[in-house]
């Protein structure tokens, strides 16, 4: 039991940052993109307008994607070619988990970096190894409207190995958790 607890603690690592506007969120994501590798999964969670698509745009820029990136709310998935392929999903309108079968997730996840907006809604069908990115409005804090609090939760050995790289990449935006 004790060992299992230790394992659970070392399996999850949390980093927090804050950004003061969309440009900063994009710059943050661009910095993170340098640490990404083929097969990576990023689960983006946060209310409408929190900045999930904005973050993905920064990732795209860092991955050398030339396409304009928008929320694929109706198409569910958009694929963009870059240094690594960017698979961008928005599952907000997915009616049931069965529909995820149509997305051919295993194939998508194999090739490129996969970003899932509202990914927590299909948590059950996503691999455990992931970078969870939680974006929040800075409500109630002494911040203006363009501030966002962003929390990264690293799960799995692939992300743990990159913990130091992620800490370095996000240093300019560091906040306490
Ligand atoms: P989501 O995909 O989470 O619904 P979007 O990225 O589409 O959100 O929209 C975020 C909106 O909030 C954009 O209009 C953006 O300009 C604005 N915004 C203001 N401050 C920030 C910030 N710090 N980070 C990201 N977006 C911000
Ligand atoms: Mg969006």
Atom of ligand 1 nearest to the CA of 135: 3
**Mean pLDDT, rounded, of the chain:** 91
Ligand nearest to the CA of 71: 2
Q: Where are the alpha helices (DSSP H) in the chain?
A: 2-11, 22-33, 52-62, 105-110, 157-160, 163-169
Contact call for residues 76 and 89 (beta carbons, < 8 A): yes
Q: How many whole angstroms from 1 Cα to the centroid of ligand 1?
A: 42
- Give Cα 110 distance to the centre of its chain: 17
Measured from CB, residues less than 6 Å from any atom of ligand 1 are 19, 21-22, 24-25, 46, 48-54, 71, 117, 146, 148
Domain CATH code at residue 72: 3.40.50.300
Look-up of token digits 């640490």: 35
Question: Quick one: which ligand is closest to 51's CA?
Answer: 1
Distance in angstroms (rounded) separating the CA atoms of residues 139 and 98: 35
Residue-wise pLDDT tens digits, 10-65: 445 899 999 999 999 999 999 999 999 999 999 999 999 999 999 999 999 999 99
User: Given a cut of 50, is residue 2 above it in pLDDT?
Assistant: no
Write down the pLDDT at residue 12: 58
CB neighbour list of residue 101: distance below 8 Å, 6 or more residues apart:
none
Tens of pLDDT, residue by residue over 69-92, are: 998 877 889 999 999 999 999 999
Q: What is the pTM for the complete model shown?
A: 0.92
Coil vs helix vs strand at 84: coil
For residue 92, the enclosing domain spans 3-173
Residue 72: alpha-carbon gap to chain centroid = 15
User: How many domains, in total, are found in the chain?
Assistant: 1
Q: What is the pLDDT of residues 118-142, one digit of tens each?
A: 999 999 999 999 999 999 999 887 7
Q: Which atom of ligand 1 is nearest to the CA of 146?
A: 20
Whole-number pLDDT of residue 7: 42
Ligand 1 pocket test target in 24, 49, 88 with most atoms within 8 Å of CB? 49
What lies within 8 Å, CB to CB, of 148 at 6+ separation is 18, 19, 25, 50, 51, 135, 136, 137, 138
pLDDT at 111: 95
- Residue 85: alpha-carbon gap to chain centroid: 15
Q: Assess whether pLDDT exceeds 90 at residue 96.
A: no
d(CA 108, CA 167): 27
Write the residue with the smallest CA distance to atom 7 of ligand 1: 53
């Amino acid at each position: 039991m004790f060992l299992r607890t230790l394992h659970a603690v070392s399996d999850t690592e949390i980093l927090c940052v804050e950004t003061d506007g969309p440009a900063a969120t994009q710059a943050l994501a661009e910095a993170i993109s340098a640490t990404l590798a083929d097969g990576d999964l990023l689960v983006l969670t946060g209310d409408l307008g929190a900045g999930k698509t904005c973050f993905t745009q920064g990732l795209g820029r860092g991955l050398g994607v030339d396409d304009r990136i928008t929320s694929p709310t109706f198409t569910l998935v958009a694929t963009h070619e870059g240094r690594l392929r960017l698979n961008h999903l928005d599952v907000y309108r997915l009616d049931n988990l069965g529909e995820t079968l149509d997305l051919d997730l295993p194939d998508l996840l194999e090739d490129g970096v996969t970003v899932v907006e509202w990914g927590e809604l299909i948590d059950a069908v996503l691999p455990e190894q992931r970078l969870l990115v939680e974006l929040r409005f800075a409500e109630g804090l002494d911040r203006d409207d363009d501030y966002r609090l962003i929390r990264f939760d690293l799960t799995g050995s692939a992300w743990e190995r990159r913990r130091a790289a992620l800490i370095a990449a996000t240093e300019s935006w560091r906040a306490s958790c």
